[in-house]
Amino acid sequence: MAIKKQYKCSACGNVTPKWAGQCSICNEWNTIDEYDAPAAAAGVGKTSSAAKGFRAAKVATGNKARPVSEIAQQSDTMKRISSGIKEFDRVLGGGLVEGGVVLLAGSPGVGKSTLALLVASKAAEQGGKVLYISGEETANQVASRAVRIGAASGTSGSLGDTLFLLSEGNLQNALVQVNDLRPDLVVVDSIQTLLSEESEGRVGSVTQVNEVATDFTNLAKQLGIPTILIGHVTKDGAIAGPRVVEHLVDVVLFFEDSQDSPLRLLRAIKNRYGATDEIGCFEHTSEGLMPVDDPSGFFVDAHAEGTNGFAVSITLEGRRALPTEIQSLVTATKLPNPRKITQGIDHGRAQMIQAVIDKYVNLRLLDQDVYVATTGGLRLQDPATDLAVVAAIISSRTGIAVPSDAVFLGEVSLTGEVRAPRDREKRIFEASRLGFSKIFTTPGSVPKDVKGLIPVSTVYELAEKIKKMQ
């Protein structure tokens, strides 16, 4: 029986008999790939008996409904397994979970494989048996990278025979190895590089990626083994493969970088076992990835006395409060259309803030070039940093230096009023902890033992207080 060609959308999974540039269901462009009918349906393909056993595990039998109270008592004792990396555990919500499947995605070169290998080495160093499966590199290449980042022997030199490397491109063989070894942690690098004998299509196609993710997820649940699956991303930055993979796994992590900073941020997009508002910080060095407990130094620069055109705020990345510096340059121009350039801040919001300053502070900006940027390559979407943008622009326009121990917290409205930011007390507490002695924010209660609060209700009031610093 001939195998019929079909086409499937990688975004929504819609199957069509003909190729099209745009999916008719989800309206996404360039997401439709060709794939062949499954070998089993066409009567072709060979599968080992061991692999067939794993396939049979996909069908649950003998399950019965149970009272939720009984299930809740068992879930309260859900065991967390520390990865040995505080920043990684923070994003997961306390550590890996038995049988939990984590999808780790990120752009090429960001350090996904290095992070996964670091997690594997730390888990092995704690005495656990870890299997690292690589479909992209040979075992020698992985071992060489492990030596370079110090993961071959561990910090205490006690890895011994607990970290196993497997270079394998065949899904069924990899599953057999997991079943025979029964490790405490499995890392798969990556799901786009393994090929299943039971599905047609090229390596990395929609059908193959779905098959690989499904089989590893089922095996992880069956044996209770925490599993980390590394996934690629498309040119648009979305996780490659069918959306069903993201629904299938328990946790989806995204590892992102900045072209202007060695800092790497790990975010949880989906987490069945914890919150999705935490981030983990890592620094990319010549020796690999290093966890960063306090990333303050990446976003705040040291300035000489009397420097103007900068202001510091506290932004929330997830639940973590981070100090960030806003810099501004206001200069006269002879161009008929003055330049208004922003970097790291929403351009429309920066334009709005400049209009508010022009009207309510009476500082003319319409005929001035105005540049506003963040330091460290941080991209801000937090409106609580509006007041710092105002302070930086006023400082540059008037030439008055803002004290380096001042921090600005507040959202600016179109009426020129300053609104209280979300989690105001948390930001104030973090500013005080970092040593800022002048905290410009809205009036209101403050955490205990916090001093130096300077209340401001309007941008005009802020401008007058900055002028008094001259």
pLDDT digits (tens, 9 = 90+) for 138-149: 888 888 888 877
CA distance 406 to 466: 11
Confidence band for 350, pLDDT divided at 50, 70 and 90: very high
Beta carbons within 10 angstroms of residue 302's beta carbon: 7
Confidence band for 303, pLDDT divided at 50, 70 and 90: confident
When pLDDT is averaged across residues 199-217 and rounded to a whole number, the result is 87
- Domain at 298-467: CATH architecture: 2-Layer Sandwich (3.30)
pLDDT digits (tens, 9 = 90+) for 323-339: 899 999 999 988 889 99
Domain layout of the chain by residue ranges? 1-43, 79-291, 298-467
Tokens at 280, concatenated = 């983990």
- Give the model's pLDDT for residue 336: 87
Pick 454 or 36 by higher pLDDT: 454
CA distance 61 to 355: 66
Residue of 328, 294, 330, 331 whose CA lies nearest to 311: 328
Average pLDDT, the chain: 84
Which residues make Cβ contacts (< 8 Å) with residue 79, sequence separation at least 6?
A: 97, 98
- Give the model's pLDDT for residue 251: 95
Cβ burial of 312 (10 Å; 0-12, 13-18, 19+) is buried
**Do the Cβ atoms of 391 and 325 come closer than 8 Å?**
no
Task: Give the right CATH number for 79-291 from 3.40.190.290, 3.30.70.20, 2.30.140.10, 3.40.50.300.
Answer: 3.40.50.300
CA 51 to chain centre: 34
